[in-house]
Amino acid sequence: MPTIALGYCDKVDVDLAKKIAQQWQFEYIGDAAAAKHRQDIDFLLQVDNQTLSLKKLDEPKLGGVLVDFVEGASAHRRKFGGGRGQDIAKAVGLKHGFTPTVLDATAGLGRDAFVLASLGCQVTLIERVPAVAALLENGIERALLNVETATIAQNMQLQHCSSIDEMQQYGEHDIVYLDPMYPHREKSAAVKKEMRVFQTLVGEDLDADKLFEPAFELAKYRVVVKRPNYAEPIAGKKPSTSIKMKKNRFDVYVKQGIPKA
């Protein structure tokens, strides 16, 4: 397993850095600059201006990975993404008068969960990797403090556990959403920064097929699985229908029809 430590960039962030390190059981090294002298550390979680990011120390040019629901791509998608006309909205059955509860069992950086929350869905996010869960929690907390995203973030509830083992304890949801890691065809230099960091930290979801049965059992109406277009269906299960995009698709497994408004 990679070694992860946590530090701060400025002394104003000391208290938050200590809190996160204690909560998630990461080694606390104080000033993040101390990581330069530690050959045994693979990843650094650093707090800078109350924002938590993850750096891969042997590839400093990659920069930090963080969860930002307030600015950047999430803000653009929130404002101009197309609302309920988006493919993900169609996949989960967001029709007029029906706003499902969603269990995102492979939350990652939470981008799709945030889109669904912005459309009014109550979303439970499950993330099993502690470093990623810590990034998610920090992102949600910052979103709660922003006037434009606070009501959206209130629709998001984070749980840290393994979906394969513990999904059932969160009760029935209208939709269960799965987006497990899948091997990328591109050469490593072409893979997005987040993917390169994640593939080193998390690896591939080699047990992803085990998610399908508990997900289908838990979902009231359907399971939605996001896949690269070249990927086989999860667990070899043929979907009821698929919504295809440029690089990815949503495989939809219908359990029962969504009620009409």
Domain CATH number, residue 56: 3.40.1630.10
Residues 62, 76: one domain? no
Classify 26 as helix, strand or coil.
coil
Residues 133, 47: one domain? no
Classify 71 as helix, strand or coil.
coil
Q: How confident is the model at residue 77 (pLDDT cuts 50, 70, 90)?
A: confident
Residues 78, 156: one domain? yes
Q: Among 46, 66, 86, give the residue marking a domain's end.
A: 66
Q: What is the mean pLDDT of the chain?
A: 90
Among 82-91, 92-101, 176-185, where is mean pLDDT lowest? 176-185
Residue 179 has a pLDDT of: 94
- Average pLDDT estimate for 61-81: 83
- Average pLDDT estimate for 10-21: 97
- Average pLDDT estimate for 133-152: 96
CB atoms within 10 A of CB 254: 15
For a pLDDT cut of 90, what percent of the chain falls above it?
72
226 belongs to a structural domain: yes
260 belongs to a structural domain: no
Q: Residue 96 in contact with residue 261, Cβ under 8 Å?
A: yes
Which residue stretches of 25-110 are H helix?
A: 72-80, 87-91
Residues 125, 16: one domain? no
Question: What is the domain count for the chain?
Answer: 2
Angle at which helix 130-144 crosses helix 14-24, to 10 degrees, equals 140
Residues 111, 17: one domain? no
State the CATH number of the domain containing residue 186.
Answer: 3.40.50.150
Residues of the binding site for S-adenosyl-L-methionine = 111-112, 127-128, 162-163, 179
In this model, does residue 254 exceed pLDDT 50? yes
Residues of the binding site = 111-112, 127-128, 162-163, 179
What span, in angstroms and rounded, lies between the C-alpha atoms of 11 and 13?
A: 5
Q: Residue 35 in contact with residue 172, Cβ under 8 Å?
A: no
Q: Residue 95 in contact with residue 174, Cβ under 8 Å?
A: no
Residues 109, 198: one domain? yes
Residues 120, 212: one domain? yes
57 belongs to a structural domain: yes
Q: Residue 143 in contact with residue 108, Cβ under 8 Å?
A: no
Residues 215, 119: one domain? yes
The range of the structural domain enclosing residue 62 comes to 4-66
What span, in angstroms and rounded, lies between the C-alpha atoms of 108 and 117?
A: 15
Residue 198 has a pLDDT of: 77
Q: What pairing do the DSSP bridges indicate for beta strands 122-126 and 241-244?
A: unpaired
Residues 97, 159: one domain? yes
Residues 88, 200: one domain? yes
Q: Residue 117 in contact with residue 94, Cβ under 8 Å?
A: no
259 belongs to a structural domain: no
Fill in the DSSP letter of residue 252.
Answer: E
pLDDT (tens digit per residue) in 191-245: 576 777 777 887 666 688 999 999 999 999 999 999 999 999 999 999 999 999 9
Q: Is 73 exposed, middle or buried (0-12, 13-18, 19+ CB in 10 A)?
A: exposed
Q: Among 32, 49, 66, give the residue marking a domain's end.
A: 66
**Cβ neighbours of residue 249 closer than 8 Å, sequence gap 6 or more:** 226, 227, 228, 229, 242, 243
- Average pLDDT estimate for 153-159: 97
For a pLDDT cut of 70, what percent of the chain falls above it?
93
Fill in the DSSP letter of residue 220.
Answer: E
Residues 106, 41: one domain? no
